[in-house]
Amino acid sequence: MHCNVLSDSYYCTEKSRKNLLMARHETYFVPSTQSNLAIGPTKTSSFTCTIPLNLRRPVIMTDSLNVAVIGAGTSGLLTARELLRQNHRVTVFEKSDRLGGTWVYEPRFEADDVLHLDPNRSIVHSSLYSSLRTNLPRPLMGFSEYSLEDKSYGDPRMFPGHEEVRKLLQDFANEFGITEVIRFNSEVVRVDYTDGQFVVECRTTEVGSAEEVFDAVVICNGHHTEPRVADDVPGIKEWPRKQVHSHTYRVPEPYRDQVVVVIGNGPSAHDISREIATVAKEVHLSSRSSNVNVSRMDGYKNMWQHSTINRVYDDGMVEFQDGHSIEADIFLHCTGYKFHFPFLRINDIVHVDDNCVGPLYKHVFPPQLAPRLAFVGLTYNQGLLLRTFELQSKWVALALSGKISLPSEDKMLADVHKHYREMEKNGIPKRDTHSLGFKFEYVDWLADQVGLRIDDRLKEICRNLFEQWGFHPNDFRDVFQL
């Protein structure tokens, strides 16, 4: 089996150059040809190497691969741009008729009872509510040289409404020629891996189902659509009244004159509770914490903060650990989402267990199929969220081009297990595997892989923001200053 390495005008630092040479030697058993590698601006050169047929990891030493990207949200758009920059042939499959993913506000919502979801229901992708403003300030909303700090679409606020982000993504896609490679109304229903290639089955309204073969697949389908619920609350599964999830929340009107229990402690739980309180009879916000004493929320006559729920009863009563009981009409679960890859038929290689997608090297590559299969956009809880996705997409594109080396399969797997052990040691639950916390180690590491550096100013803005969140959880958007 032969393959060519064609270098182009990509510039590597001395460190990446050494990594590249070492890893090629290690992974591909290149013996004496290393001096032929041309790494540096504008040189072109090639070499031929022999790959043992029994090598399980796919061989990536060509300059242009046929790559499928699943999803045209932020992660998919970034990935497409980086792959195009590396001269790969890119097809972005997007099941809806618009790009932007989460940021495409959809007034429609799923009507199901959240504790008894029909798996065949018609799924609405976006979980945005009408009034949603970003929870990150403009400089953090965007990518290098392309953020909401430099662009304005009419909303002067530092934390703009969701429509600004959609417009930014639309302009980004147009400017980088991504729109042309998106196939809209094309839902990927199956991804299989056979004989060293990926079979992608896609369903469109016009053609029905069709299969295509790709060299590589990057999964960017998002993870804010499949509701995760607090179904471990004693009695909640049998509770006879209404239960919904923030995924279906759009506007407060349906909650008028109702007694609502909101479960959750994240930004959505706080934002939505305050909004509902403008029309509801009562709002009771319950976090998982047991050391919260019941208290009326500042500035509200009809909203209380509670500890976790003890138990619920089929007459509508809800008993909190703080000793209070109320009769409620609705439970609103603001309890996050599940990673969900219904199209993935390679469960022996990567699978989801309690919201841990694994094994994945640095949240991106399943060691067994790296770099041909990759995930972009799984990580969360980071002020530099979108920069992280950008770096992940660069890493994937460069690894697929053979310009950045990955460790051997064994080493990647060992790294994943080390990560799991560290989580266990620190008492971090499995479901938080892809939560980065508010630290910068991971994003710095990624930047280093692709020869970039995160601007210190952005980190400073993050630190500032986290502080403000702590002091002003209700109105940090309005008091925050850069």
Ligand X SMILES: Cc1cc2nc3c(=O)[nH]c(=O)nc-3n(C[C@H](O)[C@H](O)[C@H](O)COP(=O)(O)OP(=O)(O)OC[C@H]3O[C@@H](n4cnc5c(N)ncnc54)[C@H](O)[C@@H]3O)c2cc1C
Of the candidate residues 27, 57, 58, 73, the single one contacting ligand X (CB under 6 A): 73
Q: Which two tokens stand for residue 248?
A: 């279906």
What gap in Å lies between CA 277 and CA 284, rounded to an integer?
Answer: 9
| Residue 265 found at the interface with ligand X (CB under 6 A) | no
| Residue 344 found at the interface with ligand X (CB under 6 A) | no
Q: Which two tokens stand for residue 383?
A: 């002020």
86 vs 221, beta carbon nearer ligand X:
221
- Considering CB under 6 A, how many residues would be counted as binding ligand X? 33
418 vs 439, beta carbon nearer ligand X:
439
309 forms beta bridges with 320
243 vs 392, beta carbon nearer ligand X:
392
CB contact set of 245 (below 8 Å; sequence gap of 6+): 114, 227, 229, 332, 333, 334, 335
| Residue 385 found at the interface with ligand X (CB under 6 A) | yes
DSSP string of 154-217, one letter each residue: S--SSS-BHHHHHHHHHHHHHHTT-GGGEETTEEEEEEEEETTEEEEEEEETTTEEEEEEESEE
Of the candidate residues 57, 81, 88, 95, the single one contacting ligand X (CB under 6 A): 95
366 vs 377, beta carbon nearer ligand X:
377
Among 383, 480, 481, smallest CA distance to 436 is for 383
| Residue 343 found at the interface with ligand X (CB under 6 A) | yes
15 vs 457, beta carbon nearer ligand X:
457
Residue 466 Cβ vs ligand X, minimum distance, rounded to whole Å? 14
| Residue 93 found at the interface with ligand X (CB under 6 A) | yes
Residue 170 Cβ vs ligand X, minimum distance, rounded to whole Å? 12
Residue 131 Cβ vs ligand X, minimum distance, rounded to whole Å? 11
Question: At residue 153, what is the residue type?
Answer: Y
188 vs 259, beta carbon nearer ligand X:
188
Dihedral of alpha carbons 243, 244, 246, 250, sign: negative
Rounded to the nearest 10°, the torsion over CA 8, 9, 14, 20 is -20
24 vs 125, beta carbon nearer ligand X:
125
Select from 80-88, 97-105, 144-152, 452-460 the region that touches ligand X (CB under 6 A). Answer: 97-105
Angle at which helices 385-400 and 74-85 pack, to 10 degrees?
40
Residue 377 Cα to chain centre, angstroms = 3
Considering only residues 6 through 65, tell me which ones interact with ligand X, judged by CB under 6 A.
none
Residue 418 Cβ vs ligand X, minimum distance, rounded to whole Å? 26
Select from 14-22, 89-97, 237-245, 359-367 the region that touches ligand X (CB under 6 A). Answer: 89-97
Dihedral of alpha carbons 456, 461, 465, 468, sign: positive
Binding site for ligand X (CB under 6 A): 70-76, 93-96, 101-103, 125, 127-128, 132, 134-136, 141, 187-188, 220-222, 224, 268, 343, 377, 385-386
